[in-house]
Structure 1
Amino acid sequence: MKKKLLIAASIFILILGILVALPFIFKDKIAERIDREIQASVNAQVYYDFNNISLSIFKRFPHISATIREFGIIGNSPFQNDTLAHVNQLQVDFNLRSVLFDDYPTLTGLHLDGGSLYVKVLEDGIANYDITFPSEEPTTESNFKLAVDIIEVNDLDLIYDDRQLDFFMALGQVSMEGRGDFTMDVYDLPMQMEAYIADVSYEGTNYLRSKRFKGETVLNVDLEQFKFTLGDGSFSLNDFLFDLQGFIALPEDDIEMDLAFEGQNNTFKSILSLVPGIYTENFDKLQTSGTMDFRGIIKGVYNENSLPSFDISLKVEEGMFQYPDLPRPVSNINVDMHILNATDNLDNTSINISQFNMTFGSNPISGRFALANLVDYTMDGVLRGKLNLDELTSIFPVEGITLRGILDVDAAAKGKYDSIAQIIPTINAKLALSNGFVKSDEYPAPIEQLNVNATIMNPSGKMDDFVVNLSQFGFELEDERVTGNMRIWDFSQLNWDGALQGSVDLGKMLAIFPMEDIIMEGKLKADLQTKGSYADVEASRYNRIDMRGEMGLSDFYFNSKDLPQGVRINNSDLEFSPQRINLKSFDSRLGQSPLKATGFLSNYLDYFLKENEVLTGQLNLSSSKFDINEWMTSDTSDTTELSVISLPTNIDFAMAVNMDEVLYDNLSLKNVRGNLAIKDGVLRFRDAAMSTLGGQISMSGSYDPRNITEPLFAFDLDISSLSIPRAFESFNTVKAFAPIAQHLTGNFNTKLNFSGKLGPDMMPILSTLDGKGLLRVAEAAYQNPQLLQAVSQVTRLNESNSFQLRNINVPIEINDGVMEVRPFEVRLWDYQANIQGSTSFDGSINYLINMQVPAGKFGSLANNLLSSISGAQTAESTIIPVALNLGGTYASPRVSLAGGNSIENLLTSALRSRVGQERDNIQEQATQQFKAAEDSIKRAVKSRAESAQDSVKREAERKASETKDRAVEEAKSVLRNVLRPQRPTTKPDTTSIP
């Protein structure tokens, strides 16, 4: 018996050892198979470390489990900056036999533990999850078979950002488990899921935020009909429990649905958990009572032309809640609401709140509201109540704020709204706030004597009987008083008559009502009266409108997260009249730049009261020193990162600029003068002049950012006595197209017109430049040992590494980023020369230099050749035509003799030719060969230019979408820092905004 036990134990240990060793024996084969299938199937960057792959046969015996840690997928262009998925740990279960012996490996389980998923759909419908190879591409077909019977997800963050539908969803801590036979066309899938709903928004409207979701159900999946049916189950949002049954089907483009939902075992406290600000860590301590019933159905087809019908009801009876540390409750809460639409047209929706009442402490509020449809808006509503603001702070926790005063509301409306028939509901509404008092712990003085008295009346339902009367509005803050009134009557004409007087300290107001990340101080004074009719505004009868008075702002300072440079206004005085607003004075400091202004605005009533109107005006701006760099940066820590400035299309401003110094990029511009105009979103300037780099620049031109991803510019320049080396250091265009300038001393003059596109950094895109002009150099010195030594080596001329240039006129033309230099005469050393060629935006050069060199300059080499040819030494003055090709880049030039000649062959051919015509033919042949080669080079440069422009455009489009990207990053911040602030990041985020 003992021997049999030992044998059995030995066999068991042997089998166990084989099971332990088996994954390691076949690890390389399994890993190679996984890698091969990924390469064949996925058109994206898949990152993982082979050393982070482990295999086990015990986790899901008899299946083999492959576990990989720190695994992820990064998309290709245009999603190269987005991480589609990152997984902390992913376990994939396989049928072991299929991996080792079958042609078709079978996947049996997926287990994801920790990670993030970022789904992004662009406006044109391109999605970052579309990472499979197109079917038309010849790829190795993936042979994976799916026999998955379990899917587990734990602690996953999910962001769905669909910019085509304008839909955004951010979920955190998603956990899910599903089991079933996924190989069948119809199967039941028991599912469990939990998630934190950070944000769900559609077309700019937020529908859910900061909610906890749980769900458990059996989902029937019918893949043939693409129909998903919910069985028995339970769901919850925060503490609100409900069931959801029915189906959703996607037969083609439509979405068919038949869903019914109903609250389960809920109390009034359950519905309270959905109210923002109430569901906190102390929610369990909230004292509540009352019952709640919630149910509804959604049934029909959703597409572009129809919506499902719906019937939703909510009923609350005898609700009450009270914060544990506060003395008064909100009680007698009763709500009966019914929302119904039995058709597929949203306009047929009706809303009926037959009962609404609650008591704040000892102050009851009650009301009702019925809306028959969304066509003529037939309504019947009443709201009455009185609030003691002092009691309100004993009901709701309002930390740091003391409130007092009585708020009284009595409003009723009944009837329909029909603009064509000039009918509106009858209205009788009164609102009054008396003896209001607001005090913040952040500031010792209160706002007091806060009184508001307003009525809205329309006893007949006719538009001309409509009256809004704000007969009293005012408050005091430390002996400063603000008062006002406004009366509006006749809904069809919208006549008004009102006034506002007083002063207010903005810093004190901000201390009482603080706003995050904002600093503000200063005193605002106003004395305004206005009277008129909106009908007169529409008809431009401004002479019938009375708008007069003054407004002043002094010692003002504003700083915010979006305006970190800060704005300081020492004083500003505005004078109002019906025709225009006069800016009598404006003394400010924008960031570090002082700025003064005077001028006026006209058409301001239309601009503020009507859509698509243009605000016109004239401004005179002056500054002793204005730093543009401070305002053209997207990153305040790096003022070299300039960004495109958009201009409004609905202003028409003429501006006269007079500034002693302007800082732009690395330039200091002195005595800047000019006339600018902004109209239709384009900035145009004329007669602009400035001093910089030791010279004078005059220019006219335009800046057109209407297409923010491809802004345009155009300049006409007249430059006098500008320093050549300083121009090279300061202008990127000079560095690119005239790199020779770095080795020149002296000044230059030019008249040049050029145009092109700007990149996202506000710098010209060199590959788009077009221009034409003439460059004049009176006198300059050139010194470049590297280039001149290369010329000496090729020509055997023993000349110095510098020479003087005098009275040079260089005609230039720029096309598609290539600067073409038409032939011009110059003396190189003591030789007459003709130069032509081009420099491209990418730094490549291609020039032909035709020099006329006396034979004697070649020394003994020429003398020996002369002796062998004629036996005389008298022909040393014979002119040798030397043609040089200059290619490569200016930093790494390639110098060669045209035609591939050696200097010996060139001299022999030239000395044998005593006829001038033959000598000219030598240079003509070199020129023709150069032009033929140049055409080929230009075609290659144009191809590179188009590629460069595409790259810049993609970068511009990326920056233009950063507003939406910021919403994604805010969601990520919530998911990472709020939900799990202590968890270290396992993989650097590669999305577009860190």
Structure 2
Amino acid sequence: MKKFFKISGIIVALILLLMIIVPYIFKDKIVAVVKNEINKNINANVDFNRVGLSLFRNFPDISVRLTELSVINNEPFEGDTLAYIPTLHATIDIMSVLRGDDIQIKKVNLNNSFINLLVKSDGRANWEIMKETDETDIEATPEEESSSLLIKLKKFTITNSKFVYDDKSLAFYLLLENVNHELSGDLTLDNTTLQTHTTAEKLTASYEGIRVLQEVDAELDSPLDIDFNKFLFTFNNSELRLNQFFLLFEGTFEMPDNGDYVMDFTYSSKRTDFKDFLSLIPVMYATDLKNISTAGNAIINGNLKGIYNDDSYPGFEFNALINNARFHYPDLPKSVDEININASIKYPGGIDFDKIEVDVPNLSLFLGGNKLSMELFVRNPVSDLALKGKIDGMINLSEIGDFYPLPNGENPQGKITANISLDGKMSTIEKRQYEAFNFDGSLLLDSFIMRSASIDKTIEIAKAQLSFSPRFVNLSHLDLKVDNNDLSANGKLENFIPYLLSDGVLKGNLQLNSNNFNITDLLPKTENSDLPDDTVAISPVKIPDNIEFSVQALFKKLIFDNIELTNTTGEMLIVDQELILKRLNMEVLGGTMFLNGKYDTRDSTQAKAELALNLNQIDIQKSYSTFGTINKFAPIAQKTDGKFNTSLNIKTLLDNQMMPVYSSMNGGGNLKTTNIIIENFSIANKIADLLKMPDLKRLLMGPVNLSYEFVNGKVHLKPFELSYQDINANTLGWISFDQTIDFEMAITIPRTKFGGAANSVLENLVNEANKLGTSFKLGEKVNITAKITGTTSDPVVKIMPGNGSGKSMLDDMKKRAQEELDKQKQKLEDEARKELEKRKAEAKAQSDKILADADKQAAQIINEAQKQADAINRAAQEAADKLKAETQKQSENMIADAKKKGPIAEAAAKKAAEQLKKEIDKKAEKLIAEAKNNSDKLVSEAQRQSEKIRSDARNQVDKLMDIK
């Protein structure tokens, strides 16, 4: 017995030892196979940190653990993350490893993963990373080159993961958070049944920028039958839960060898309780639905059926019916009653999206006793959009809190009254046949008062009225107050319907008037307590490319950040992705300002600004504390009393805070001052200390006149003269946006200005210079040179004796300064030219694609129209032939019957038959002619659409290629 236990112990120990060392024996082989398969098949950057192997986790099989697995896309999604999987567990059949056969994977688990699926507007997807293999290469590939991995999954799980699907081609976005998924079944069989269960704590979906679902709690149970021989997937009794709403669906999805995707699905709501439907509305689900009393039915059903390929899309139908529903919060006095919705969207399938139909014959409800109703019908959305609809009703804002719980402090007042109807086709608007398009009514906001939490201000609108017509939307009245800020406005919008429903250009004008308006009051308060009080958190504003808008303004007092402007007048134009400022006049900082400018967002990656400024009699010290550019480039202004005039032209890129990128600034101008006082400025203090002339620390100077240029992040000052009493200084140099400096001053000082200490300094300078072989002598006027470097706060000043009048030195300084300026300009011009050439090349490539896509789309429309036209003509010809054949047979029978009655009857029958044939021939010809006319109209309309597509593409290309 002892011997038995001893042997058993040895065997157990050996098994444990094998379980420990076997994974390491085969680790290199498994890792090599994995990496080889990846490199052989994937066109992406795939990486993982390490691989761990174990026999204990899933004995007797081997457990593989990959950590920090990432898949980073190459072009055209360069740098985008397709997948990041912190931990991947896989179970591998140990016998497949021991035999040296194909390695068989049984189970896979992805934990805390991020899956990021992207589709570009041209349809390219970032998961299409499998390397393409030439057919001939496939045939020539020997058997031993086939895959060394064999997927024999029986279980696949995902835990605590995040899933993103962002499809630019469909303008669809889907986000799933905290996803858990389990798939079980035998994937080794040709025919198998899988059980799938998926949950997502938060599901968010949007289409065309409209949020359809917001952080919905989702769950999916779906048994799945698979026929791998046919690639046929059958969904049986599947159930999708969105919050408390349950949707049942079933159907098939097949991928035959011809490349089509064939689908046939039906779906319907599991229950008809209105409360289930109510849970899909975020603001309702956020409250406690259990305590809300509801009544009424809600039914949703539909289907998805047809073929999806390059030339066809499946048909679909969606129906929603809510009948006499209501909801009521128990603690509130009123309810929302008589909720009725009847809506459907249908599409028969194919490639003609003109056949999409939207019908909403009724959407109505009573909000605390006030009825709101609407209807909408849509036809021919592609070829000639036909709309019919209306909205009618009133919302008493002061009663919202009676039927829906509002946050503390929110108690809106006022009334919104709407009475709008429209009926017509888009083509009538495009042809300016306004009388054929019915669009009229009004939208009125009256006595509106609301406290805004985002800006912590009370907003009041005494009255605002919009009137609608086919030609324009008229804002006849707007009176706005935000605490102490007031604004009145009126204006018009033209081409409103084409802009809203297609790609039309919105045109308009607006007149604004205000006595007091603080823009900062209207910006959301920042949450960042580290920011100074006068810092406003903003981001660049993108100007749309299909707006042409003019604004004329008069603001008696206008405040932005810490800048106060008075009597501001001027015009703003919004056109072609630019905001243009024209003839803006204002009073600021004790003086006046006149400006023209441009804010350019045509380059989506980088906003730009251009300004032409004239400032007159501006207080110098106030300008330092007000304008960031002066703060950066003229810190001397902080220590200067006086006023200045300047004319300035400047171009600059803007950062994400809409502030200038100082290194990109180009331009220049001229500056003139009144008599000024400079006191306690660091550079003057240093010169005063070095020359032992304390009077220079407080300079009472005459007017200054200088010119300057912005080049490569520096302000270059052209040579100018400063005078203080009998002291003159010719100065030039530059200051950078980081306040580093490089100046030279040729200073002429009367000998009488030097006292005892100053004379000692002067004599030392002369002696030091003469030791180097010069022969400086002191005359009635002393010429010295000051070389100034370092920074404005910590300048480094070096004093040297001058030569004669200092004119030659000044000329040399001018020459060197101009050479440096020209060098910097040339560098910028070279860089700008290269960037322009690059942008033009990119724009050319993009333009070629736009034109090619437009030609393809146009050709598809014409081809489809021609097919339909041929079908119409063919059907008409067949109908005509059939009609003639039936008439011929009828005539023969009529003559045969008449022949039995005698020759007279036979002759009469022949004549009647001949007359009948003539009539039928006319009908047949008319049938063919009508078909020809209809088919010609169809082709003509397709040609019009095609030409519009090409024209729009050419216009888009013209804008794209307009690069300056």
Q: If the TM-score is normalised by the length of the shorter chain, which range does it land in?
A: 0.5 to 0.7
Q: Does 1:570 align with 2:462?
A: yes
Partner of 1:730: 626
Q: State the secondary structure of the residue aligned to 2:537.
A: coil
Change (3 A) 1:163 1:868: closer
Alignment equivalent of 2:787, drawn from 872, 884, 887: 884
8 A Cα contact 2:386 2:424, kept in partner: no
Alignment equivalent of 2:309, drawn from 282, 302, 305: 302
Alignment equivalent of 2:554, drawn from 626, 651, 657: 657
Partner of 2:260: 256
Change (3 A) 1:493 1:874: closer
1:868 Cα deviation from its structure 2 partner = 6.8
1:19 Cα deviation from its structure 2 partner = 4.1
CA distance in 1, matches of 2:585, 2:555: 10
Q: Write out aligned runs for 1:274-353 (5 A).
A: 276-277=277-278, 298-299=306-307, 302-303=309-310, 305-307=311-313
CA distance in 2, matches of 1:110, 1:544: 64
1:674 Cα deviation from its structure 2 partner = 1.1
Alignment equivalent of 1:673, drawn from 568, 574, 588: 568
Alignment equivalent of 1:168, drawn from 168, 173, 191: 173
Partner of 2:889: none
CA distance in 1, matches of 2:183, 2:339: 55
Partner of 1:824: 720
Partner amino acid, structure 1, of 2:9: A
8 A Cα contact 1:107 1:145, kept in partner: no
Q: Write out aligned runs for 1:471-490 (5 A).
A: none
Partner of 2:6: 6
Change (3 A) 1:543 1:668: same
Deviates more, 1:776-785 or 1:533-542: 533-542
CA distance in 1, matches of 2:688, 2:103: 70
Q: Write out aligned runs for 1:723-872 (5 A).
A: 723-782=619-678, 787=683, 797-800=691-694, 802=697, 804=699, 805-815=701-711, 817-827=713-723, 832-841=728-737, 843-851=739-747, 858-864=761-767
1:664 Cα deviation from its structure 2 partner = 0.6
Change (3 A) 1:560 1:867: closer
1:17 Cα deviation from its structure 2 partner = 5.2
Q: State the secondary structure of the residue aligned to 1:12.
A: helix
Alignment equivalent of 1:118, drawn from 116, 119, 137: 116
Partner of 1:236: 238
Change (3 A) 1:259 1:730: same
8 A Cα contact 2:665 2:712, kept in partner: yes
Q: State the secondary structure of the residue aligned to 1:629.
A: helix
Q: State the secondary structure of the residue aligned to 2:702.
A: strand
Q: Does 1:629 align with 2:632?
A: no
Change (3 A) 1:399 1:277: farther
Partner of 2:481: 589
Partner amino acid, structure 2, of 1:655: Q
1:170 Cα deviation from its structure 2 partner = 3.6
CA distance in 2, matches of 1:929, 1:608: 57
Change (3 A) 1:602 1:240: closer
Q: Does 1:154 align with 2:158?
A: yes
1:576 Cα deviation from its structure 2 partner = 11
8 A Cα contact 2:493 2:509, kept in partner: yes
Change (3 A) 1:145 1:575: closer
Percent identity between matched residues is 21
Partner of 2:89: 91
For residues 128-170 of structure 1, what are the alpha-carbon distances to aligned partners after superposition, in whole Å with 9 as ceiling and x for unaligned? 7799999xxxxxxxx9974555463233331211224423334
Partner amino acid, structure 2, of 1:836: L
Partner amino acid, structure 2, of 1:802: K
CA distance in 2, matches of 1:948, 1:841: 23
8 A Cα contact 1:194 1:214, kept in partner: yes
CA distance in 1, matches of 2:249, 2:443: 57
Q: State the secondary structure of the residue aligned to 2:764.
A: helix
For residues 657-688 of structure 1, what are the alpha-carbon distances to aligned partners after superposition, in whole Å with 9 as ceiling and x for unaligned? 132x322122233x233132445476555554
For residues 162-190 of structure 1, what are the alpha-carbon distances to aligned partners after superposition, in whole Å with 9 as ceiling and x for unaligned? 224423334453414478899xxx98897
Change (3 A) 1:160 1:602: closer
1:307 Cα deviation from its structure 2 partner = 3.6
Partner amino acid, structure 1, of 2:5: L
Change (3 A) 1:610 1:687: same
Change (3 A) 1:212 1:733: same
8 A Cα contact 2:43 2:74, kept in partner: no
CA distance in 1, matches of 2:119, 2:341: 50
Partner amino acid, structure 1, of 2:764: L
CA distance in 1, matches of 2:122, 2:542: 23
1:621 Cα deviation from its structure 2 partner = 0.6
8 A Cα contact 2:564 2:588, kept in partner: yes
CA distance in 2, matches of 1:247, 1:692: 72
Partner amino acid, structure 1, of 2:413: E
Q: State the secondary structure of the residue aligned to 1:59.
A: coil
8 A Cα contact 1:553 1:573, kept in partner: yes
Partner of 2:398: 507
CA distance in 2, matches of 1:635, 1:585: 32
Q: State the secondary structure of the residue aligned to 2:414.
A: strand
8 A Cα contact 1:230 1:244, kept in partner: no
Change (3 A) 1:521 1:163: same
Q: State the secondary structure of the residue aligned to 1:175.
A: strand
CA distance in 2, matches of 1:546, 1:91: 64
Partner amino acid, structure 2, of 1:730: T
8 A Cα contact 2:394 2:417, kept in partner: yes
Q: Does 1:643 align with 2:641?
A: no
Partner of 2:414: 522
Alignment equivalent of 1:557, drawn from 449, 453, 461: 449
Partner of 2:857: none
Q: State the secondary structure of the residue aligned to 2:111.
A: strand
CA distance in 2, matches of 1:803, 1:77: 63
For structure 1, the residue ranges without an aligned partner over 5 or more in a row are 135-142, 223-227, 313-338, 340-350, 361-386, 410-428, 441-445, 457-490, 898-902, 951-994
For structure 2, the residue ranges without an aligned partner over 5 or more in a row are 133-145, 241-245, 343-359, 378-384, 752-758, 838-964
Q: State the secondary structure of the residue aligned to 1:642.
A: coil
CA distance in 1, matches of 2:622, 2:254: 73
Partner amino acid, structure 2, of 1:567: I
Question: What CA RMSD, in Å, does the superposition of the two structures yield over aligned residues?
Answer: 7.1
Partner of 2:57: 59
Count how many residue pairs are aligned between Structure 1 and Structure 2. 755
1:822 Cα deviation from its structure 2 partner = 1.7
8 A Cα contact 2:48 2:66, kept in partner: no
8 A Cα contact 2:273 2:295, kept in partner: no
CA distance in 2, matches of 1:677, 1:293: 50
State TM-score, norm by structure 2: 0.58
Deviates more, 1:749-758 or 1:535-544: 535-544
Q: Write out aligned runs for 1:136-535 (5 A).
A: 146=149, 149-150=152-153, 152-155=156-159, 156-171=161-176, 173-177=179-183, 192-196=195-199, 198=203, 212-217=219-224, 229-230=231-232, 234=236, 236-238=238-240, 245=252, 247-248=254-255, 255-259=259-263, 269=270, 276-277=277-278, 298-299=306-307, 302-303=309-310, 305-307=311-313, 440=368, 446-447=369-370, 505-508=396-399, 511=402, 520-523=412-415
Q: State the secondary structure of the residue aligned to 2:57.
A: strand
CA distance in 2, matches of 1:270, 1:111: 34
CA distance in 2, matches of 1:158, 1:521: 42
8 A Cα contact 1:45 1:76, kept in partner: no
Q: State the secondary structure of the residue aligned to 1:3.
A: helix
CA distance in 1, matches of 2:424, 2:782: 90
If each structure's strand is expressed as a fraction of its own residues, which one has the higher value? 1
8 A Cα contact 2:558 2:568, kept in partner: no
